[in-house]
Each structure stands twice: as C-alpha cells, then as structure tokens.
Amino acid sequence: MYLIVGLGNPDKQYERTFHNVGYIAAGDVAEALGAKFKKKECEASVAEAYVGGEKVIVARPLTYMNNSGRAVKQLMAKYKIPEENLLVIYDDYDLPKGKIRIRAEGSAGTHNGMRSIIGETGKTRFPRIRIGIRDSEVNIPIIDYVLSEIRKEDYPLFAEACKKAAEAASDFARGVNIEAVMNRYNQK
C-alpha cells in the first residue's frame, strides 16, 4: 500500500498560489491513476486507486500547510503505511520555478509542511518530490511570495512541472524503485 500526499492549503483563496503546487500535483496523480477525491478522512481529502493489485491513497491534507503532519500521521496509522511507501509532493523556494527534484529521504529544510510531517511522524526516510517555485525576478518576503498567486504567464510551466511530478509519483506507486524514479525525473 502506498500513500502519496500533496501539500497545500484547503481554502479556495489559496487554490492558485505557489504553496499549493503540491495539491495541484496530487490532483494530477489521482487523475493519472483513475481516482477521484470522493471522501474526507483523517483530516484529509482522499482518492483511492489500485495499481497492480496494490492500494494507492492520494491525499490532500485539510489542516493547512503548517499542520500537514497531523493528517499524514493519521493516514499512516489507519492504513499501516510503512515509511518507505509514503511520498510527499510540495513546493520548494530553493529550486527555480518549474524544476522538480526527487529525493529518497532527508530533512524538512525550510518548509513548514515538511517540518510538521517529520515532527508528527518522527520519520525522515520517505521519498519526496519538490517542485521549484523561486522566481529570481521577484523580490518579496518568502511568506508573501508562497501565498501569492502564480502569474498567468507561468501557468503552463507549473502545469508541466506538476504533470511531471505526477508521472514520477505514479511510477513510484507502480513499485518502481525510488532511485530509478530519481534517475528518470531529476532535472540536471
């Protein structure tokens, strides 16, 4: 069983913000796996699919970014998800906009959603897909930037990045080894 979590904020006002690219990518994962977000449980909106007989849960926490770990911890406990079968997709200010980077494990870095997940679960050895959001032309405080709306001219770039992240997550859900996923999707 796999759990794929896209981080974001649940309110409509955040729908097209940089901080919600994880939510957008989770929607792309669900679509790729033929699943729909039909239920709410464990403080998350959840879509379920079966891939090669294996259950895959795609989730969007409804707890707001800074408390994402509550939903992840509850889902992991309910479905007995092993740490290595959790994959988290989220925005990363340290990467240029539109770039994706996959890691097999690691720290939270400066991301509050990841801090919450690691703090709540006590786990760090799970894969993650980071979608770059930094725009070198914009010079405003990070907190204001991540909650600002993606510019219309950048929609295609972020749509492509989210689709690529969803492809990588779908491969992971199909049982492809994370190192192979990294080799295929990490952009030089």
What is d(CA 178, CA 35) in angstroms, rounded to the nearest whole number? 22
Q: Is-catalytic flag, 111? A: no
Q: Please return the burial class of 173, using the count of CB atoms within 10 Å of its CB with bins 0-12, 13-18 and 19+.
A: buried
What is the length of the chain? 188
**Sign (positive or negative) of CA dihedral 105, 85, 83, 14:** positive
Predicted pLDDT of residue 142: 83
What is d(CA 54, CA 71) in angstroms, rounded to the nearest whole number? 21
Ramachandran area for residue 109 (φ above 0: left; ψ -120 to 50: alpha; else beta)? left
Average pLDDT along the chain, 188 residues, taken 10 residues at a time: 97 92 97 95 97 95 96 98 97 94 91 95 96 88 87 95 97 94 87
Predicted pLDDT of residue 102: 97
Record the tokens describing residue 74, joined without a space: 């509850």
pTM: 0.95
Predicted pLDDT of residue 77: 98
Spacing of C-alpha 9 from chain mean position: 12
Predicted pLDDT of residue 188: 60
Domains and CATH numbers, the chain: 2-185 (3.40.50.1470)
Helices (H) and strands (E) in the chain, counts: 6, 7
What is d(CA 90, CA 65) in angstroms, rounded to the nearest whole number? 10
Catalytic residue selected from 4, 6, 14, 19 = 19
What is d(CA 187, CA 39) in angstroms, rounded to the nearest whole number? 34
Record the tokens describing residue 38, joined without a space: 């039909």
Give the DSSP per-residue string, 121-161: H----S-EEEEEEE-TT--S-HHHHHTSBPPGGGHHHHHHH
Record the tokens describing residue 163, joined without a space: 């689709």
What is d(CA 188, CA 172) in angstroms, rounded to the nearest whole number? 20
What is d(CA 104, CA 139) in angstroms, rounded to the nearest whole number? 31
